[in-house]
Amino acid sequence: MDRPADSIPLTDALNEAPLSIFHLRAMFTSGMGFFTDAYDLFIIGVALTLVKAEWHLSTSEATLASSVALLGAVVGAFVFGRLADLLGRKAIYGLEAAVMAIAAIASAFAPNIAWLIAARFLLGIGIGGDYPVSATIMSEYANRRDRGRLVSMVFSTQAAGLIVGPVVGLTLLAAGVQADLAWRLMLGLGAVPALAVIYLRRTLPESPRYRARVRGDATGAAASLAAYTGGQIQGVAVTEPRIHERLRDFLSNPRNLLLLLGTAGSWFLLDYAFYGNTISTTLILSSVAPHAALIQSVAWSLVIFALAAAPGYVLAIATIDRIGHRRLQWIGFLGMAAAFATIGLVPNLTHVVLPFLVIYGISYFFTEFGPNVTTFVLPSEVFPVTSRTTGHGIASGIAKIGAFVGVYAFPHLASALGLHVTLLFTAGVAVAGALLTLVLPEPAGLTIEEASREDLVISRISRPETVTA
């Protein structure tokens, strides 16, 4: 069938579409999951302070309760990431949010530490599954020019979760809510945004790129794109080759293995530093100011997140497509390393509250203005459509192993070596992350097909079908 003169291929239409309301709708739908992820993962640091006192937990029990969700996230990222390539993005989109809601409610009703640990593991499975699917959905709907910004906006909702968590904790503590009820409310409220977003996710159409190139459903892809954009993208001729790639093909491709080294390796190192510090923030601040009350430590955490982390997210969103996705990651890792090295090398800095908070805040700024955003963005761009959520799931799953190691090891290292030595080691981790970043390509300014080099995928190409929507 000949293509009409005024029609263009589906991928070209998506890549060159101007930024519009349908992009923002997809971003909000994806981003609400990450608000929930951040709230659920980091509120445990505040809640466990109360749980530990009530249940008289050992250090090992408390540390496992604070980190077990990250082990669940490893499972969720691997499993949901692969299923989204096999069954489709829409087939499981919303399922992971339901898992998060159920687990948050179960956490709130925990009668003992074993129950709480099990519920937190289930919560992690939902959180891990959200990473590859949300990133890929947004990346596949995005245009070429704004892709980095749009995927960054999805992830930056984590900043809201980081801020809302301490606000909720601070409010409950300041209101004098009984400790047993306070921590249950902190954990249970994580179900609210997860439940709210399930309907939006179930109504989001299947990714047109996936539907056309993997499923071979040219007619459905063109129709769903026209419907979802409210007619803003019309006259699209779907002339996409159908691509098939087995997991064995993906894992035996040297380029994919190098990409996994760069994406998973740098993300592992970032999450070791980020989660180790963030979930242990209350511990860190109590070490710097041992006589400060819990409510004061929570307030300091809120100040750090609001004045350092949030601006980092905002600046990353504004500049990522101009600076470059890989370059921004490299800059952020080096900024983190400099801040951590300063704390580790300057004598007595870990015992003077204000200077410590300033330098520690700078480390958070560069974490967000850099790898905490870009490690999420890059895997959604560099892998082909047939294995995009698989690649992202492997990268984010390995990253959460790093997060688990960081959360579990940080308190023990700080206790054995001191805070300054522990943060000096973290500076070395950040330098290693900067070096691993250099093995990745720069996808900024390229279409997602160019960035992932889909034409070189070992594939089975069927006869193209042409449909005008």
C-beta of residue 425 within 8 angstroms of C-beta of residue 413: yes
Is the predicted pLDDT of residue 306 greater than 90, yes or no? no
pLDDT at residue 107, as a whole number = 96
Mean pLDDT of 221-226: 81
Name the average pLDDT for the chain: 87
User: By C-alpha distance, which of 431, 272, 425, 292 is closest to 357?
Assistant: 292
The pLDDT of residue 286 is 67
Residue 467 has pLDDT above 60, yes or no: no
pTM attached to this predicted model:
0.87
The predicted pLDDT at position 457 comes to 63
**pLDDT average, residue stretch 270-299:** 74
Tell me the average pLDDT across 294-301.
72
Asked whether residue 301 carries a pLDDT value surpassing 80, the answer given is no
Q: Between these two residues, 234 and 414, which has the higher pLDDT value?
A: 414
Q: Are 357 and 414 in contact (CB under 8 A)?
A: no
Rounded Cα distance between 46 and 399, Å, is 23
The band of 441, judged by pLDDT with boundaries at 50, 70 and 90, is very high
Task: For helices 21-55 and 179-188, give the axis angle rounded to 10 degrees.
Answer: 150
Quick one: pLDDT band at residue 291, thresholds 50, 70, 90? low
Among 123-132, 250-259, 270-279, name the one with the lowest average pLDDT. Answer: 270-279
Mean pLDDT of 369-373: 95
| β-bridge partners, 209 | none
List the beta bridge partners of residue 8: 236
> How many other C-beta atoms lie within 10 A of the C-beta of residue 422?
26
* Residue 462 pLDDT: 44
- Per-residue confidence (pLDDT) for residue 461, from 0 to 100: 43
Q: Classify 316 in phi/psi space as left (phi over 0), alpha (psi -120 to 50) or beta.
A: alpha
Q: Is the pLDDT of residue 128 over 70?
A: yes
Listed range (23-27, 210-214, 296-300, 433-437) with the worst mean pLDDT: 296-300
pLDDT attached to residue 309: 83
End-to-end CA distance of the chain: 15
CATH assignment, 8-456:
1.20.1250.20
The yes-or-no verdict on residue 469 having pLDDT over 70 is no
For the chain, the structural domain boundaries read: 8-456
The residue-averaged pLDDT of 300-320 equals 86
User: What is the reported pLDDT for 282?
Assistant: 66
pLDDT grade for 161, boundaries at 50, 70 and 90:
confident
| Residue 468: per-residue pLDDT | 46
pLDDT higher than 60, residue 138: yes
Mean pLDDT computed over 359-384? 94
* Mean per-residue pLDDT, 136-140: 94
Express each pLDDT in 83-98 by its tens digit.
999 999 988 888 999 9
Confidence of residue 167 (pLDDT cuts 50, 70, 90): confident
Express as a percent the part of the chain with pLDDT over 70: 91
Q: Residue 88 has what pLDDT?
A: 92
- Model pLDDT for residues 10-47, shown as the tens digit of each residue: 888 889 888 888 889 889 988 888 888 888 887 887 88
Q: How many whole angstroms separate alpha carbon 419 and alpha carbon 289? A: 12
What CA–CA distances, in Å, run from 223 to 39, 93, 172, 235, 399? 37, 20, 49, 10, 37
Q: Average pLDDT of 425-441?
A: 96
Does position 459 have pLDDT exceeding 60, yes or no?
no
Query: Which pLDDT band, with edges at 50, 70 and 90, does 463 fall under?
Result: very low
